[in-house]
A and B are shown apart, each in its own frame.
Chain A
Amino acid sequence: MNAQYALLAPEITLAVVGLVIFSVGLLIPKGSRQGMVPLTVLGILVTMAVAGAQFFSNVNGSFLDGMYLADNYASFFKLLFLAAALLVVLSSTEYVQKLPAHRGEFYGLILFAALGMMVMAGSGDLITLYVGLELMTISFYVLVAYLSEDGKSGEAGLKYLILGAVSSAVLLYGVSFLYGLTGSTVITEIAAKLGSGMSPATILALLLVLAGFSFKISLIPFHMWAPDIYEGAPVPITAYLAVASKAAGFAALVRVMLVGLKAQALDGNVAVALAVLIGLTMIAGNLMAIPQKNFKRMMAYSSISQAGYIAVGLLAGTPDGVKGVLFYSMIYVFANMGAFTVATVVSTAQGSDEIKDFAGLARRSPLAAVVMTVSLLSMAGIPPLAGFVGKFYLFKALLDQGWVPLVFIAFVMSMVSVYYYLLVTRTMYMEEGADLPKIGVSGATKFTLLVTMLVTLFLGIYPSPLAKMATIAAASLFR
């Protein structure tokens, strides 16, 4: 058994950076601590370079007999998680200054959550996947409960922990049956042993695994946690939770379903059940977003409905569908981070994140208002923004598989979503907000806002570079 440790270069780099950040936080006394943000940013950039080098030199290897995979699919998701972590760190610099204590660990935990996601995307073994998943979620439990003064934050943390642990247990119970059926936890071996068999035990295992993952990506009957946890968590962490942890859930779910359970996952009744879940998610997610008064709660329901759109690519189950999942997840990172960075700015200045707090933002901070508008319209799928292209890829892949009614629902519901996204825009542009303060954005925050907006615009007009990357990554999954 020859172990090629070079394949693990991105994970090893990020783990080292994370440990360095933790030690700096512990060893250097408060007050004389400087350069945490540049150090974190540098660490993420180096890891991105390593992961990018693996992607562009087409590294497709497996470690320890297929237990861990470094293929283009995993590398694409690694780049996505690192981009999300980078934007979160940059957008939260001012927010972190207001934290009462433990500022150093904040960045370290963000890095370890990203490491957990990378392990999830690369794992070829269900137990490795579970360890990565828990590394990510345990880091998130702490991050969600980070505002120790604010009771809401602690409450959100405990709720997330209880529900997250239940969903992990359900997932693992399914994994234990898969092990019982096949004698292996390696995804490719499970596929080989199961063949095209469809026993009741297989269906039970499949449904348990699907339920466990549905919680992580918040499909509708398993979405109850999202609004509460999104509202209680610190704003940058809400953004991180919405984009990165959801993408990680999809990374693992798509691999398990389309590689490990490829004969069972999209067969007859199971596919219909999945289609019903997705349809419900899109309808209820969008409708429940409309009456929300709190921005973070609204974005929680919006992110539930976005999970429905992304899951469309999983249901299609073709390389085109997976390409749609990859493309949409990536642009969703930029659109969502743009919107949440604006929310962070407003919440830092005004200490609250109700939608009415955005009144008159167009006058008080024109850049923030423009970025928010672009991000929201991209999520609604208005051309020429990136969200339109992503939805086009996803819905087209599903249409090719003949799911016409579901495509119709998806199309109608994304029209509905324009309404509540535009409500925020209306508040920013049409309302006075006379007694609210002027907000200046500067430094890293301004950089984040500009980057997210430009990427969203650029990929809407010229999507082919990212589309090509997504095609390559999707092909490596079906190799």
Chain B
Amino acid sequence: MNFSLTVGLPHYLLVGAMLFCFGLYGVFSKKNAIAVLMSLELMLNAVNINLIAFNRFLWNNPVEGTKHLLLNGHVSAIFVIVVAAAEVAVGLALVISIYRSRLSANVDELDWLKW
């Protein structure tokens, strides 16, 4: 029997899909607002895994006439990371401001507006 295992594109995509689903589940089931923000990060990291895996396995071509590789996917992932950091910074600020007025960071208690 041959136990050697090559990790290829499908494995990365599978990990990405799992992370995305865990994140989506977490956003709608977690009670603590901080945990919801963490689940959001999982979803965005699933996107990053996809982008980088696609770049590495499918589009690892050099730019025409040079030896440099095209890094569209990698660069896109960096953009996603930066924007996600900005988003979470605002999110944490909002959680703190809500915690100050209600002494709770529980998403279930956000019911002053009818949902």
**Which residues in A have some Cβ–Cβ distance to B below 8 Å?**
127, 130-131, 134, 138, 141-142, 145, 148, 151-152, 154-159, 161-162, 165-166, 168-170, 172-173, 175-177, 179-180, 183-185, 224, 228, 231-232
Per the bound structure, the CA–CA distance linking A131 and B97 in Å amounts to 26
Cβ contact within 8 Å between B43 and A173: yes
Closest 8 CB pairs of A and B: A180-B54, A176-B50, A169-B43, A183-B59, A228-B113, A172-B47, A134-B83, A158-B94
Question: With the chains together, A151 CA to B113 CA distance in Å?
Answer: 10
Option from B54, B75, B90, B107 in Cβ contact (under 8 Å) with A141: B90
Q: A130-B83, A183-B58 are in contact. Are A154 and B94 (CB under 8 A)?
A: yes
Q: Which residues of B contact A (CB under 8 A)?
A: 16, 20, 23-24, 27, 33, 36-37, 40, 43-44, 46-47, 50-51, 54-55, 58-59, 61, 70, 72-73, 75-76, 79-80, 83, 86-87, 90-91, 94-95, 97-98, 101-102, 107, 110, 112-115
Q: CB-CB < 8 A to B44: which residues of A?
A: 165, 169, 172
Q: Which listed residue (B23, B75, B87, B97) contacts A138, Cβ 8 A?
A: B87
Nearest B residue to A224 via CB reads B115
Q: Is the interface of A mostly helix, strand, loop or mixed?
A: helix
Contact between chains at A138 and B90 (CB < 8 Å): yes
B113 and A155 contacting across the interface, CB-CB below 8 Å: yes
How far is A134 from B87 in the complex, measured between Cα atoms in Å?
8
A158 near B72 (CB under 8 angstroms)?
A: no
Contacts of A159 in B (CB 8 A): 110, 113
CA distance A134 to B80 in the complex (A): 10
Given A166-B27, A169-B40, A179-B94 contact (CB < 8 Å): no
Q: Which residues of B contact A185 (CB under 8 A)?
A: 72, 76
Name 12 extra pairs, CB < 8 A, besides A180-B50, A224-B115. A141-B91, A145-B97, A154-B101, A155-B112, A158-B94, A159-B113, A162-B36, A166-B24, A166-B27, A184-B72, A185-B76, A232-B113
Interchain residue pairs with CB less than 8 A apart (24)? A127-B75, A127-B76, A130-B79, A141-B87, A141-B90, A151-B98, A154-B94, A154-B101, A155-B110, A158-B95, A159-B113, A162-B91, A165-B44, A166-B24, A168-B87, A169-B44, A173-B20, A176-B50, A176-B51, A176-B54, A179-B55, A183-B61, A185-B72, A185-B76
Picked from B36, B58, B70, B80, the residue with its CB within 8 Å of the CB of A180 is B58
Output the least CB separation between B79 and chain A (Å).
5
Task: State A183–B73 Cα separation when bound (angstroms).
Answer: 8
- Which of A166, A172, A183, A231 is within 8 Å of B80, CB to CB? A172
B11 shortest CB reach to chain A, Å = 14
**Contact in complex: B46, A130 (CB < 8 Å):** no
Q: Which A residues are in CB contact (< 8 Å) with B91?
A: 141, 158, 161-162, 165
B40 surroundings in chain A (CB, below 8 A): 162, 165-166, 169
Min CB gap B38→A, angstroms: 12
Assess the A162–B97 pair: CB atoms within 8 A: no
Residue in B closest to A180 when the chains form the complex, CB atoms: B54
Establish whether residues A173 and B47, one from each chain, have CB atoms under 8 Å apart when the complex forms: yes
Set of chain B residues within 8 Å of A157, measured between Cβ atoms: 94
A152 to B, closest residue via Cβ:
B112
Shortest B41–chain A CB gap in Å is: 9
Cross-chain contact B94 with A228 (CB below 8 angstroms): no
Residues of A within 8 A of B20 (CB): 169, 173
Contacts of B107 in A (CB 8 A): 162
